[in-house]
């Protein structure tokens, strides 16, 4: 096999977490006169909101903890504030996939060293190959070692691993398990250069659905673990027929571990793979959790159990099935995270993946897996009893505005629990990641004094026993990873449309409250009546299509919502975009489906009528002054309605791009002033920022702007000035976030290289009441203010 070696990118050290804002180039008065201001950047607090795929404790230094997320970068724990510090805000737009972290490793010998394996997708959705990021200062600054293949930080299997590890016997040596048949890789110089391990025999072969753009990738080499008693290196591979390999000579040669296929490769007729491992070096055990699906969002197996827990005695080679025998709801769907208590040999925990209803289960054993206790159980019928209470004061939205329904609580242990870790220095502390947050407690060993949850009376009935519960709370403060799809800044209130968790309302930027109809899983578009910002409209849809696209209305700035009527709506629809006229009297909704005619309502959504003259899937907006006028764009054609959305006509505009238009917005206080963004990777497609002053009939391309992703408006710099314009763009070859205070003549970049957030800013808007403030989508909701 040809040996492939790749060095770090030249000059790859970059400014990372904790960097200052842009340097002060001139005095404050001169900067303000020119529109050049230094900015400070903060988060509108949500706390979590997405999948936390891994939690890694340093094994030698207490309180040194990292977590990784699929789309929101990685973080380091701050013990004094009990918050997480983001480490990858420096990632530039050109390398946006670096914010998708598939694995992390913290050095047990030199704790200042930390590593991250990054890359978004193994298909062509991410144009770049993956990389290993290496830091000698705990993520303060990073170097980049580019790889010759892609990695899947947001692909199936992203919670398995860890794929990236430091050899504790020689911390200059790191191993990387890769997807897509690329095999096992190794670095001997602290992650600076990498080469394929030539003689590693198996690159994996497990594919969920061949030919599928997401599910069709080979899961590859999943994890590497070290037996420090016998000096062996173990490698888990996504191959049910050959799932485990070991080296007894420091990685020079590799052999399949005898009995591994029989122990790990199937359960109840379901082919399984070894998705995670944990080593007990005191007792000489390697624990392996398996699942029929790499996750994280899988359902149950077709029949029977979907996974098991197997124990290998590393010195004798003896295999023992230590799978918990009981799940209150029936079969075990498979296992996600598994972790060992290094302070108490023989104690381990594991999580189901995905139990879904009524909740996930955490299992705990104090006798090396011989017996297990559960985090909750049923008494007679479905009378649920629990070992701990869940405190959501750090994230009140985790109820999703729902209520307990029997054993299915509104606040859940979670779902997609692949990240599960007991603190190696403190047996009382555990953290686990879910699809929405991080849970944790510092009272874990109270579990062992509670005894059984259930007993049987003489009649054979299951009776709940009294339990003195401990408390589990949110440990996601500082982690922000919501996918923000739209924003509405009302002045004193910020409303967001969000993927996966629907949306929020912020009247205090340090606290998020759930908003938008709670039966929806995502919202895709927002608008408000310019003359009555209490009136907001949104469009979204339910989980996995169980509720079709719909429109919601709030008349109290997003505090409460009602869903509109369905009279006049097609049966099968997706949310698309929605607009409300400046006075709130008309609503136009354009579902994103290519065969569904847009509709309008004159009675706040009670009934709907088909729009005339507008193609399906058109993007719609309202004029912010003239209540009769609305606008739409589709395929290079710009449309205008002068009768409140009942009919649209082509404005006859020419020169607009036929594709690559992700956004257009209408300036407040300026009748007929429209700004349209264009971006594309195709050389033949025009890109930039276009401006119309006559309602979309004629357009002027702003010469300075090479490419624009998003545009929005905020308070003007002077009383009768043009609204401040904010755009996510490329200007003069420089990617960034820019502001103009003179109607688009002059533009100044307001962020610096330490604050780029990858592909952030597809949604950007100013604040109507605070000059200089800007909100943008990225790692959750980011906002910036003028520093002085």
Give the number of other Cβ atoms within 10 Å of residue 662's Cβ: 16
Place of tokens 């598994």: 338
> DSSP letters along 456-506, please?
E-TTS-EEEPP---EEEEE--TT-B---EEEEEE-SS-EEEEETTTEEEEE
CA 201 to chain centre: 34
| pLDDT greater than 60 at residue 20 | no
For residue 106, what is the enclosing H or E element? strand 101-106
577-595 pLDDT, tens per residue?
999 999 999 999 999 877 7
In angstroms, the Cα distances linking 97 to 71, 125, 752 are 8, 10, 19
Give the number of other Cβ atoms within 10 Å of residue 643's Cβ: 13
Cα–Cα distance, 523 to 488 (Å, whole number): 12
CA distance from start to end of the chain: 60
707 bridge partner residues:
730
> DSSP letters along 751-773, please?
--TT--TTT--SSEEE-SSSTT-
Are 624 and 670 a contacting pair, CB within 8 Å? yes
Cα–Cα distance, 497 to 487 (Å, whole number): 6
* Percent of all residues in the chain with a pLDDT value above 70, rounded to a whole number: 94
Q: What values do phi and psi take at 15, rounded to 5?
A: -70, 135
pLDDT (0 to 100) of residue 26: 33
| pLDDT greater than 70 at residue 31 | no
pLDDT (0 to 100) of residue 342: 97
Are 757 and 782 a contacting pair, CB within 8 Å? yes
The model's confidence at residue 302, banded by pLDDT at 50, 70 and 90, is confident
Q: What values do phi and psi take at 224, rounded to 5?
A: -130, 135
Residues 234-248, mean pLDDT to the nearest whole number: 98
b/e map of 715-742 (b: 16 or more CB within 10 Å)? bbbeeeebbbbbbbbbbeeebbbbbbbe
Are 492 and 506 a contacting pair, CB within 8 Å? no
Pull the structure tokens for residue 711. 């545009």
175 bridge partner residues:
165, 186
Q: What is the largest CA-CA distance in the chain?
A: 85
Cα–Cα distance, 162 to 473 (Å, whole number): 25
Q: What values do phi and psi take at 610, rounded to 5?
A: -70, 140
Cα–Cα distance, 579 to 672 (Å, whole number): 15
What's the DSSP call for residue 635? T
Cα–Cα distance, 435 to 456 (Å, whole number): 35
Pull the structure tokens for residue 183. 């095999």
Pull the structure tokens for residue 633. 């764009």
Residues 707-726, mean pLDDT to the nearest whole number: 96
Q: If you compute the radius of gyration of the chain from its CA atoms, what whole number of angstroms results?
A: 27
pLDDT (0 to 100) of residue 16: 52
Residues with Cβ within 8 Å of residue 588, at least 6 apart in sequence: 578, 579, 580, 598, 599, 600, 611, 620, 622, 630, 632, 641, 645
| pLDDT greater than 90 at residue 367 | yes
| pLDDT greater than 80 at residue 196 | yes
pLDDT (0 to 100) of residue 78: 98
pLDDT (0 to 100) of residue 427: 98
Pull the structure tokens for residue 88. 């990858």
CA 773 to chain centre: 25
CA 499 to chain centre: 9
Q: Which of 507, 506, 556, 547 is nearest to 523 (CA)?
A: 547
Are 621 and 537 a contacting pair, CB within 8 Å? no
Pull the structure tokens for residue 247. 């080296």
Pull the structure tokens for residue 18. 């904790």
| pLDDT greater than 80 at residue 752 | yes
Place of tokens 């009649």: 459
In angstroms, the Cα distances linking 395 to 67, 416, 487, 730, 758 are 18, 19, 20, 36, 26
- 331, burial (CB in 10 Å: exposed 0-12, middle 13-18, buried 19+): middle
The model's confidence at residue 685, banded by pLDDT at 50, 70 and 90, is confident
462-492 pLDDT, tens per residue?
999 999 999 999 999 999 999 999 999 999 9
| pLDDT greater than 80 at residue 10 | no
Give the number of other Cβ atoms within 10 Å of residue 249's Cβ: 10
pLDDT (0 to 100) of residue 55: 98
Residues 686-712, mean pLDDT to the nearest whole number: 96
For β-strands 388-391 and 470-474, DSSP reports them as parallel
- In three-state secondary structure terms, 236 is strand
Cα–Cα distance, 593 to 486 (Å, whole number): 19
What's the DSSP call for residue 161? B
Q: What values do phi and psi take at 448, rounded to 5?
A: -75, -15
pLDDT (0 to 100) of residue 548: 73
Are 353 and 417 a contacting pair, CB within 8 Å? yes
pLDDT (0 to 100) of residue 564: 87
Are 678 and 696 a contacting pair, CB within 8 Å? no
Q: What values do phi and psi take at 658, rounded to 5?
A: -80, -15
In angstroms, the Cα distances linking 685 to 619, 658, 757 are 19, 8, 26
Residues 550-571, mean pLDDT to the nearest whole number: 85
Cα–Cα distance, 740 to 714 (Å, whole number): 10
pLDDT (0 to 100) of residue 36: 81
pLDDT (0 to 100) of residue 27: 42
Residues 326-351, mean pLDDT to the nearest whole number: 95
* Percent of all residues in the chain with a pLDDT value above 90, rounded to a whole number: 84
Are 472 and 440 a contacting pair, CB within 8 Å? yes
Say whether the peptide bond before residue 593 is cis (omega within 30 degrees of 0): no
Cα–Cα distance, 545 to 540 (Å, whole number): 10
| pLDDT greater than 80 at residue 531 | yes
In angstroms, the Cα distances linking 69 to 59, 107, 155, 218, 302 are 21, 19, 12, 21, 29
pLDDT (0 to 100) of residue 64: 98
Across the chain, mean pLDDT equals: 92
pLDDT (0 to 100) of residue 9: 44
Residues 756-763, mean pLDDT to the nearest whole number: 96
Active-site amino acid positions: 70, 500
pLDDT (0 to 100) of residue 2: 38
pLDDT (0 to 100) of residue 683: 81
Put the strands of the sheet holding 373-374 in their side by side order: 335-340, 348-352, 362-365, 373-374
Are 771 and 717 a contacting pair, CB within 8 Å? yes
What totals of helices (H) and strands (E) does the chain contain, helices first? 2, 65
For residue 261, what is the enclosing H or E element? helix 260-264
b/e map of 415-440 (b: 16 or more CB within 10 Å)? bbbbbbbbbbbbbbbbbbbbbbbbbb
89-137 pLDDT, tens per residue?
999 999 999 999 999 999 999 999 999 999 999 999 999 999 999 999 9
Place of tokens 């390999």: 245
Cα–Cα distance, 417 to 177 (Å, whole number): 21
Q: How many residues are there in the chain?
A: 788
pLDDT (0 to 100) of residue 573: 72
pLDDT (0 to 100) of residue 53: 98
Are 304 and 332 a contacting pair, CB within 8 Å? no
């Amino acid at each position: 096999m040809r040996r492939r070696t790749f060095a770090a990118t030249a000059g790859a050290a970059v400014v990372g977490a904790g960097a200052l804002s842009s340097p002060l180039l001139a005095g404050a008065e001169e900067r303000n006169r020119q529109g050049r201001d230094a900015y400070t950047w903060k988060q509108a607090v949500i706390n979590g909101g997405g999948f936390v795929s891994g939690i890694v404790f340093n094994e030698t230094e207490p309180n040194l903890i990292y977590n990784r997320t699929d789309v929101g970068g990685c973080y380091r724990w701050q013990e004094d504030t009990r918050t997480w510090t983001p480490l990858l805000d420096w990632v530039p737009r050109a390398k946006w996939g670096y914010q998708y972290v598939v694995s992390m490793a913290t050095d047990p010998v030199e704790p200042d060293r930390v590593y991250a394996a990054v890359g978004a997708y193994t298909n062509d959705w991410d144009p770049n190959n993956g990389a290993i990021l290496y830091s000698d200062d705990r993520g303060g600054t990073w170097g980049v070692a580019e790889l010759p293949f892609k990695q899947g930080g947001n692909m199936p299997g992203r919670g398995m691993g860890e794929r990236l590890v430091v050899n504790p016997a020689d911390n200059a040596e790191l191993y990387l398990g890769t997807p897509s048949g690329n095999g096992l890789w190794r670095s001997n110089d602290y992650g600076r250069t990498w080469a394929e391990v030539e003689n590693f025999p198996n690159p994996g072969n497990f594919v969920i659905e061949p030919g599928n753009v997401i599910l069709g990738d080979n899961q590859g080499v999943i994890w590497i673990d070290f037996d420090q008693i016998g000096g062996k290196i173990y490698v888990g591979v996504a191959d049910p027929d050959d799932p485990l390999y070991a080296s007894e000579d420091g990685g020079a040669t590799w052999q399949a571990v005898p009995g591994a296929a029989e122990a790990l490769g199937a359960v109840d007729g379901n082919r399984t793979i070894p998705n995670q491992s944990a080593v007990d070096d005191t007792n000489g055990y390697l624990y392996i959790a398996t699942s029929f699906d790499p996750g994280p969002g899988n359902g149950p197996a077709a029949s029977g159990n979907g996974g098991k827990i197997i124990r290998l005695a590393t010195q004798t080679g003896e295999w023992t099935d230590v799978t918990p025998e009981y799940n209150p709801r029936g079969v075990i769907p498979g296992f996600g995270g598994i972790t060992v208590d290094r302070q108490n040999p023989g104690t381990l925990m594991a999580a189901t993946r995905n139990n879904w209803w009524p909740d996930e289960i955490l299992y705990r054993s104090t006798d090396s897996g011989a017996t297990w206790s559960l985090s909750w159980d049923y008494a007679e019928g479905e009378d649920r009893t629990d070992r701990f209470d869940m405190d959501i004061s750090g994230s009140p939205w985790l109820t999703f505005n729902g209520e307990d329904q029997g054993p299915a609580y509104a606040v859940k242990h979670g779902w997609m629990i692949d990240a599960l870790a007991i603190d190696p220095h403190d047996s009382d502390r555990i953290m686990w990641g879910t699809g929405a947050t991080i849970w944790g407690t510092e009272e874990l060993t109270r579990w062992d004094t509670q005894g059984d949850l259930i007993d049987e009376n003489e009649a054979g009935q299951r009776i709940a026993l009294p339990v003195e519960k401990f408390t589990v709370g949110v440990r996601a403060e500082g982690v922000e990873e919501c996918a923000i799809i739209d924003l509405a800044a009302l002045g004193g209130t910020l409303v967001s449309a969000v993927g996966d968790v629907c949306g929020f309302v912020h009247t205090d930027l340090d606290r998020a409250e759930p908003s938008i109809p709670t039966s929806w899983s995502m919202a895709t578009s927002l608008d408000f009546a310019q003359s009555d910002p209490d009136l907001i409209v949104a469009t979204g849809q339910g989980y996995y299509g169980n509720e079709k696209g719909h429109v919601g209305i709030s008349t109290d700035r997003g505090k409460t919502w009602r869903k509109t009527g369905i009279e006049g709506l097609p049966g099968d629809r997706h949310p698309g975009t929605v607009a409300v006229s400046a006075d709130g009297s008309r609503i136009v909704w354009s579902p994103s489906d290519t065969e569904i005619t847009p509709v309008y309502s004159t009675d706040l959504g009670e009934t709907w009528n088909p729009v005339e003259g507008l193609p399906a899937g058109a993007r719609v907006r309202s004029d912010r002054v003239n209540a009769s006028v609305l606008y739409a764009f589709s395929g290079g054609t710009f449309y205008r309605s002068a009768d409140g959305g009942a009919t649209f006509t082509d404005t006859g505009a020419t020169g607009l791009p036929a594709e690559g238009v992700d956004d257009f917005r209408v300036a407040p206080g300026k009748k007929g002033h429209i700004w349209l963004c264009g971006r594309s990777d195709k050389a033949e497609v025009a890109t930039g920022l276009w401006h119309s002053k006559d309602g979309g009939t004629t357009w002027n391309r702003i010469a300075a702007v090479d490419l624009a992703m998003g545009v929005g408006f905020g308070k003007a710099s002077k009383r009768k000035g043009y609204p401040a314009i904010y755009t996510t763009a490329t200007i003069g070859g420089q990617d960034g976030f820019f502001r103009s205070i003179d109607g688009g003549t002059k533009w100044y970049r307001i962020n610096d290289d330490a604050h780029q957030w990858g592909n952030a800013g597809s949604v950007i808007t100013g604040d109507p009441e605070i000059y200089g403030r800007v909100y943008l989508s990225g790692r959750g909701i980011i906002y910036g203010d003028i520093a002085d």
